[in-house]
Amino acid sequence: MATLDECMTALDDFVGTLAAKEGARDLDRSVSCRLTDLEQVVAGRLARGSVHDMAAVPDGPAVPKADIRLTMTSDDLLALTSGQLSFAPAWASGRIKLEAGLRDMLRLRSLL
């Protein structure tokens, strides 16, 4: 199991890379990643081509619902960000869960 610090660094890089892509420059969305094995949710904002206010909070019913939500284990997050795990097959097999509105899903499809 990966540590929360490793996950924070990986998420910052992953979301930062997405934010820097041309198709994401005009996005302004809240994002979160639920790390099921760590029982933490890392949340932040994707806006103006970068990531803002990334912070981890304990998972629970009081966690606000983000516009774009990922759910996975900490090890899958590190494998995804290191290139050892491809997003599409991991999503199709249920290892990674992505929840977002239809418009965001269509836009993310071109970014991932």
Please count the CA atoms within 13 angstroms of the CA of 31 that sit on its side-chain side. Answer: 26
**Residues 7, 35: Cα–Cα separation, whole Å:** 9
Judging by beta carbons within 10 Å of its beta carbon (0-12, 13-18, 19+), is residue 32 exposed, middle or buried?
buried
pLDDT in tens, the chain (112 residues): 889 999 999 888 877 777 777 776 777 889 999 999 999 999 988 887 778 888 999 998 888 899 989 999 999 999 998 889 988 899 899 999 999 888 877 777 766 6
Tally of domains within the chain? 1
Output the pTM of the full model. 0.86
Spatial separation of the C-alpha atoms in residues 59 and 72, rounded to whole Å: 13
Domain that holds residue 16: 4-111
- CATH assignment at residue 45: 3.30.1050.10
Task: Of 48, 99, 102, 52, give the one whose Cα is nearest residue 71.
Answer: 99
